Amino acid sequence: MQKLRVGILFGGRSAEHEVSVQSAKGIFEAIDPSQYEVHLIGIDPRGRWHLRSPALLQSATTPVTALPESAEAQLALAPGPGETAASPARLPPLDVVIPVLHGTYGEDGTIQGLLKVMDVPFVGAGVLGSAVGMDKDVAKRLLRDAGVPVARFLTLNPATAAAASFESVVGQLGCPFFVKPCNAGSSVGVSKVRTAAEWAAARALALRYDRKILAEEFIAGREIEVGVLGNDQPEASVCGEIIPRHEFYSYEAKYLDEHGALLRIPADLPPAVAEQVRAAAVRVFTVLECAGLARVDFFVTADFRIYANEINTFPGFTRVSMYPKLWEATGVPYPRLISRLIELARERSAAEAKLETAYRPTLPA
């Protein structure tokens, strides 16, 4: 049987560039070479696309630095079915792309739209699901309207953030509260605020990464995460728990401090509560129009109230990342998980290809 040609797209113009490289390394090392012919496509921090050799990922260390300037073949995009690259370098037509891109210009619908225009199947949510999942403000409003409990929040732009006093925010959200960019992940730009001075610093930090920021109520609860896998009939993994050893589960705790957090899989929850969280994860996934995969994060209080925190439509994929570890504990080992994601991408693309693209009036019988 001919191997499927798989493009792994990684790096990108994002504050999570380095995380993407590590995720791509994890997938590349785990993907079954007997089934797939893998082509590595690295996007450098300036947005240029290059073919990359396996040696680049094999040499990546933790913490990884940004993709270096490359003398390797630079790619130009060519729209059309299967045409993923053109001169001066050329790729063979790809059967599927895994966009291992976290954050802006990757997880926010931009790459997904490009791949759809190019008619290339890809792993993960489409344009709408990716964009909505990335925007914490829009996602929380949709979940709230769908009856999914979320923390209270305020959405601010540069002008309204500057005008909002610490006292006014505390009056609406309580103290402490969190401040975060609306369109960023991996806890980039996130702060916990207790004082007026911290509020000024937190909003300045968040506005470095996005022009829309969120001030969010602090929920005193355990951080529970669930992996979701599927298209029209998504399934939930076992629950996992993040036990931070920092103030909260910050970027440093996730990627720079090997002892920054303890991952407990499965989470120590009463069975009925675990089932409620798993059902809520699938509900979040479907409300936000996701597909393929996502990791849904919750807060669970001491009296077992469940609040949706956020969704990651392409979560971290290193061997120590929560998403693959959740599915491994559920009975889906890492290589099989990658194969299943590729299958789901091709299934969705095949279903979409059957849709009519031109109006054909129905004639009376």
User: Is residue 133 a part of any domain in this protein?
Assistant: no
Number of structural domains the chain divides into: 3
Helices and strands (DSSP H and E) totals, the chain: 12, 13
Structure tokens at 355: 């849709």
Q: What is the mean pLDDT of residues 196-222?
A: 96
Q: Is the pLDDT assigned to residue 18 strictly greater than 60?
A: yes
Judgement on whether residues 166 and 193 belong to the same structural domain of the protein:
yes
Judgement on whether residues 201 and 230 belong to the same structural domain of the protein:
no
d(CA 9, CA 24): 8
- For 246-280, write each residue's pLDDT tens digit: 565 445 445 444 556 789 999 999 999 999 999 99
Token pair 């077992």 is found at 304
d(CA 68, CA 84): 22
Q: Is the pTM of this model over 0.85?
A: yes
Q: Compute CA 265 distance to the chain's CA centroid, rounded to the nearest angstrom.
A: 20
DSSP label of 241:
E
For the chain, how many residues are written?
Answer: 365
Pair type for strands 191-193 and 222-230: unpaired
Q: What is the mean pLDDT of residues 124-139?
A: 96
Judgement on whether residues 158 and 201 belong to the same structural domain of the protein:
yes
At residue 237 the predicted structure's pLDDT band, cuts being 50, 70 and 90, is very high
Cβ-proximal residues to 311 (8 Å cutoff; 6+ apart), any chain: 133, 139, 284, 285, 288, 290, 294, 295, 296, 297
> Which pLDDT belongs to residue 365?
64
CATH number of the domain to which 185 belongs = 3.30.1490.20
User: Is residue 72 a part of any domain in this protein?
Assistant: yes
Judgement on whether residues 263 and 229 belong to the same structural domain of the protein:
yes
- For 269-323, write each residue's pLDDT tens digit: 999 999 999 999 999 999 999 999 999 999 999 999 999 999 999 999 987 889 9
CATH number of the domain to which 20 belongs = 3.40.50.20
DSSP label of 185:
-
Judgement on whether residues 305 and 254 belong to the same structural domain of the protein:
yes
> Which pLDDT belongs to residue 250?
46
Judgement on whether residues 58 and 165 belong to the same structural domain of the protein:
no
Judgement on whether residues 174 and 233 belong to the same structural domain of the protein:
no
Range of the domain at 35: 4-123
Pair type for strands 96-100 and 4-11: parallel
> Which pLDDT belongs to residue 70?
55
- For 70-114, write each residue's pLDDT tens digit: 555 666 655 444 444 444 456 788 999 999 999 888 999 999 999
Q: What is the dihedral of CA 243, 247, 252, 256, to 10 degrees?
A: -60
Structure tokens at 236: 């939930």
Tell the burial category of 43 from Cβ atoms under 10 Å away from its Cβ (0-12, 13-18, 19+): buried
CATH number of the domain to which 289 belongs = 3.30.470.20
Domain boundary among 176, 201, 217: 217
